[in-house]
Structure 1
Amino acid sequence: MGTIVVSQNVTLDGVVEDPSGEGGFRHGGWFAEYMGQDWEAWAELELAEARAAEALLLGRRSDEYFGARSAVMAGEWVDRLNRLPKYVVSSTLKEPKWTNATVLSGEVVGEVKELKERIAGEIVVYASRPLVRTLLEHDLVDELRLTVFPVVLGAGERLFGETSDKRPLRLVHSKTLGSGLAHLSYQRAREV
Structure 2
Amino acid sequence: MGKIVVSQNVTLDGVVQDPSGEGGFKHGGWFQEFMGEDWEAWAELELAEARGAEALLMGRGSDAYFATRSAQMSGEWADSLNRMPKYVVSATIRRARWTNATVLAGEAVGEVTQLRRRIRGEIVVYASRPLVRTLMEHDLVDELRLTVFPVVLGAGERLFGETSDKRPMRLIHTRTVGNGLVHLTYERAREA
Runs of at least 5 residues in structure 1 that lack an aligned partner in the other structure: none
Partner in structure 2 of residue 136 of structure 1: 136
TM-score, with length taken from structure 1 = 0.99
Runs of at least 5 residues in structure 2 that lack an aligned partner in the other structure: none
- Deviation by residue 1:122-150 (Cα, 9 ceiling, x = unmatched): 00000000000000000000000000000
- Deviation by residue 1:40-61 (Cα, 9 ceiling, x = unmatched): 1100000000000000000000
Q: How does 1:30-109 map to 2 (within 5 A)?
A: 30-109=30-109
SS in 2 for 1:125: strand
Partner in structure 1 of residue 125 of structure 2: 125
Partner in structure 2 of residue 4 of structure 1: 4
CA drift at 1:72: 1.4
Identity %: 79
SS in 2 for 1:144: strand
**Does residue 1:116 correspond to 2:116, yes or no?**
yes
TM-score, with length taken from structure 2 = 0.99
Q: What is the root-mean-square deviation of aligned Cα atoms in Å?
A: 0.4
SS in 1 for 2:135: helix
Counterpart Cα distance in 2 of 1:72 and 1:38: 21
CA drift at 1:95: 1.6
SS in 2 for 1:182: strand
- Give the letter aligned to residue 120 of structure 2: A
Partner in structure 1 of residue 186 of structure 2: 186
Counterpart Cα distance in 2 of 1:110 and 1:93: 17
Counterpart Cα distance in 2 of 1:8 and 1:104: 22
- Give the letter aligned to residue 80 of structure 2: R
Partner in structure 1 of residue 17 of structure 2: 17
Q: How does 1:140-155 map to 2 (within 5 A)?
A: 140-155=140-155
- Give the letter aligned to residue 148 of structure 2: V
Question: How many residues get paired?
Answer: 192
